[in-house]
Structure 1
Amino acid sequence: MKSLLNKFTTGENVNPYQGRGLTIRNDTSGLKKHARTDLLYADWNILHFHLSDEPIPSGRFFSKPADYLAFCLIGGNVAAVIDVLPHPDRAGFANTNLFATMADSWPRYIEQYELKGILGGNEGNKFSSSDISQLREAGITTFTEHNGKMYMGPGGGITSAGTSLQVVRSSDYLRDTADSLAKMVDDPQGQFRSHPIIQEISDPNFMLTLDPRGLSIREDKSQTHFAINRPKPGEEPTRLESMSDMLVPEWAINSFFK
């Protein structure tokens, strides 16, 4: 655990210590519906990390599976450890004790997901960890009861296709933003086509590209780049700034151009 905390503190890449399904078993066309996304993250916004100190084998991205996992909340510049537990079976990733510990430890965080006016308390209607696991795998999102209150999942839930609702919404947001950007680029009076260099080209060819500054619009014939601004600290990002950060966060740019 100390090794993982050191990595968080020093800003090292901790992705190799997540589950291999992060990139290996996330094909939404795959027959194993339950493997299309990290169901614990999609439902409760909880990530898990393998507690392994063994060096990652050469040529591999992921660490070896470990006997113990750290279950964490990650957001902004905060990594909050909920619990450290032996590697569970599939139902163990729906362990209701994880939700209870999260709610008790960070009540202000969980309060925003409370379903106001809906009371729990009926023991016969409570879902067990096994129930929640099976429903998740079927693409059904449930509400979670804790101390007589009902909560929606902080992760947003799972779609009937077995995918993360949060990811679907992000995908729709990016698609709509890219469509708006295409219309801006195609506008004869807009900032792109009215640029003096572009006006000299009879049939300009625009495309999205990546350079050391981040995401940008490039006119291919003239090699003219229009940088898309990065989000500014402490300010609400514009749609284009959000798109830039979602597609190519700062760490990805630094890694690609190092």
Structure 2
Amino acid sequence: MVAFIDVLRHPSKEGFANPELIETVAQNWPRYMDQFKLHGISPNRRHTQEEIHALRSNGCSPSLMINNTAYMGPGMGITSAATPTKVTLTADRVREFARDLAVAVQDPSGAFRTEAITALEGPPEFSLAPTALGLVVYEAKSKHAFRLPESEPYKAPTPMEAFHDLLLPRWACRALVTNSA
């Protein structure tokens, strides 16, 4: 199987309501769209781009009609901030992972405390940093970096691997490091 992605300029806000975009997804990846089917709902008609935009702008998420089947949008609806619910849930996961990482970094007997870091005068200075090898927890005074694990294809990610993938995926990290060099 081969997939091509057409990279275009972002449209106007109304352009994101173009039903042809999701219809293309449904046509090319029907199994992916199966999870969004609304069983037991008979859509009465296909909404226009203008109608979808107006509804979303007012905090409503219309069902989508594709080939006489009703679907929920893959973004899982629109929040009151006019962003996809899926984006809000993902941001919440990133914050939760970041809190867990901060707790682990602060643990005086944890994995982020080498002898050199423990021997520092004053508190260590930890931060997250992109590197050519991926995202790291970096301690500035000792110049020690702890590489965060990255997920592997076809394996369920651990929480830290998921954090790495969500915050700064491998491809984005490499591009960021390459472009800043």
Q: Name the TM-score class by shorter chain.
A: 0.7 to 0.9
Secondary structure at the aligned position of 2:33 is classed as helix
Partner residue of 1:217 out of 112, 119, 137: 137
User: Quick one: distance in 1 between partners of 2:55 and 2:81?
Assistant: 12
Secondary structure at the aligned position of 1:218 is classed as strand
- Pick closer, same or farther for the CA change 1:100–1:208 going to 2, 3 Å: closer
User: Quick one: distance in 2 between partners of 1:253 and 1:206?
Assistant: 19
Q: How far did residue 232 of structure 1 move? A: 1.6
Q: Which amino acid aligns with 2:41?
A: L
Q: Which amino acid aligns with 2:10?
A: G
- Higher strand fraction: Structure 1 or Structure 2? 1
- Pick closer, same or farther for the CA change 1:128–1:173 going to 2, 3 Å: same
Partner residue of 2:9?
18
Q: How far did residue 147 of structure 1 move? A: 4.9
**TM-score, structure 1 as length reference:** 0.58
Asked if 1 retains the 8 angstrom alpha-carbon contact of 2:130 and 2:177, the reply is no
Q: Structure 1, residues 52-107: CA drift from partner, whole Å, max 9, x if none?
A: xxxxxxxxxxxxxxxxxxxxxxxxxxxxxxxxxxxxxx3x6545455455435543
Partner residue of 1:198?
117
Secondary structure at the aligned position of 1:131 is classed as helix
Secondary structure at the aligned position of 1:257 is classed as helix
- Pick closer, same or farther for the CA change 1:137–1:233 going to 2, 3 Å: same
User: Quick one: distance in 2 between partners of 1:244 and 1:152?
Assistant: 29
What's the Cα RMSD here? 2.6
Partner residue of 2:42 out of 105, 120, 143: 120
Percentage of pairs with the same residue = 35
Q: How far did residue 197 of structure 1 move? A: 1.7
Partner residue of 2:78 out of 144, 155, 158: 158
Asked if 1 retains the 8 angstrom alpha-carbon contact of 2:37 and 2:70, the reply is yes
- Pick closer, same or farther for the CA change 1:94–1:226 going to 2, 3 Å: closer
User: Quick one: distance in 1 between partners of 2:21 and 2:146?
Assistant: 46
The runs of 5 or more residues in structure 1 that have no matched partner are 9-13, 22-34, 36-89
Secondary structure at the aligned position of 1:114 is classed as coil
The runs of 5 or more residues in structure 2 that have no matched partner are none
- Higher mean C-alpha deviation, range 145-154 or range 168-177: 145-154
User: How many residues are paired up?
Assistant: 173
Q: How far did residue 234 of structure 1 move? A: 2.1
Q: Which amino acid aligns with 2:144?
A: T
Asked if 1 retains the 8 angstrom alpha-carbon contact of 2:76 and 2:84, the reply is yes
Q: How far did residue 255 of structure 1 move? A: 2.2
